[in-house]
Amino acid sequence: MAPIRLRHPKGVTTLQIDVDNASVLDLQQQIYAATDIPPSQQDLKSGYPPQSLTLIPELPLASLGLKGGDQLTLIQQAGASSAPFTASPPRPSAPSSAAPRSSAPQAALPSVGATHAQGPYSVPTEGGYLVHRIVPDDNSCLFSSIALIFEQDMGKAPMIRQIVADAIRKDPETWSDAILGRPREEYISTILKPSTWGGAIELTILASHYSTEIASVDVETGRVDHFTPPPARDSGNRCILVYSGIHYDAATLAPMLEAPAEFHQTVVPITMEGDSDAVVVAAKKLADILRSKRAYTNMATFTLRCQVCKKGLKGEKEARSHATETGHVEFGEY
């Protein structure tokens, strides 16, 4: 464990964290415990002059370049909701498609409520309408969304998993045990299982494979994470995913609202870098609509109850730990 000094609106706190083995989310959750500022509202700065850190919860803490004794400054972002998702009453669980909040693939948490509001919704933009394309809650939502975008067939999700597995197997230097968070062969075996979630690692690999930027808009915060291919492989195109905290959907461009799916454009040229591109602006507006319907789940703060032993739990991390310790895999949100 190493000390990280945190300046925040309530004062100064020294955090003790395993900088070599922790994830970015682990740091964010410690900050939340100390400050009551949820991960979705945390803007962390380091260095001199202070520079904002890019916080991708799934990645190892090492991705931020922090070391023991470093000092961070926390600024609370305005406008992001800190309220957890309000779900329907707890029910017997069926696995829910989701992105893991760790760098390694995970067996899926049981369903804890709806992952999207009624829809699909759409936003007008240049060239037509950006349409929310809902995919099934079957633990393969990331892979189904990518299959819909690049293969025009959600049923090819297993093929997308194989692409990820092959890429990791072929590049042990980039995808080392340390980056994956577990032995490579174990990671490969796990990601091929239909019950396993995907996240930042998978999106990075798939952006490279398809030579296309994958822009993922977070419903709760409106933040856009850009997963870009290497410059030598960059086609200059982009696609859009919509992330609710426990689910990925796709978003595609329709020439008119009533246009059938086969007329949708799933990959679009990048006309401007970053979040100023018209399609990215439309994606953020789509997230605004879904946020207004409370169609998201805050993975660090939502509360669950084990349906087997009735123990109360907070967040994905506690639920996974409880499942590992007890073998109980039925949860309901409350």
Identity (one letter) of the amino acid at 324? Answer: T
Using alpha carbons only, what angle is made at residue 316 by residues 108 and 111, rounded to the nearest 5 degrees? 45
Using alpha carbons only, what angle is made at residue 134 by residues 166 and 277, rounded to the nearest 5 degrees? 80
Asked if pLDDT for residue 165 goes beyond 80, the answer is: yes
Residues with a catalytic annotation lie at 138, 141, 247, 328
Indicate the SS3 state at residue 68: coil
Asked if pLDDT for residue 96 goes beyond 50, the answer is: no
Q: Which residues contact 78 (CB under 8 A, 6 or more apart)?
A: none
Rg of the chain's alpha carbons, rounded to an integer?
Answer: 19
Q: Which residue has better confidence, 157 or 324?
A: 157
Token match 């998993």: residue? 161
**CA–CA distance, 23 with 17 (Å, rounded to integer):** 10
Asked if pLDDT for residue 109 goes beyond 70, the answer is: no
Residues 236-258 have pLDDT tens digits of 999 999 998 878 999 999 999 88
CA-based nearest residue to 333, from 243, 222, 219, 246: 246
CATH class of 122-292: alpha beta
**CA–CA distance, 218 with 286 (Å, rounded to integer):** 10
Residues 126-144 have pLDDT tens digits of 889 999 999 988 879 999 9
Q: What is the largest CA-CA distance in the chain?
A: 57
Confidence grade of residue 327 (pLDDT, cut at 50, 70, 90): low
Average pLDDT over residues 278-292: 93
Q: Which fold has domain 2-76?
A: Ubiquitin-like (UB roll) (3.10.20)
Instruction: Evaluate whether 97 touches 247 at the Cβ level (below 8 Å).
Output: yes
Residues 192-245 have pLDDT tens digits of 998 788 888 999 999 999 999 999 999 988 999 999 999 999 999 999 999 988
Least confident stretch, 7-16, 94-103, 164-173: 94-103
What pLDDT sits at residue 332?
57
Sorted by where each begins, the domain ranges of the chain are 2-76, 122-292
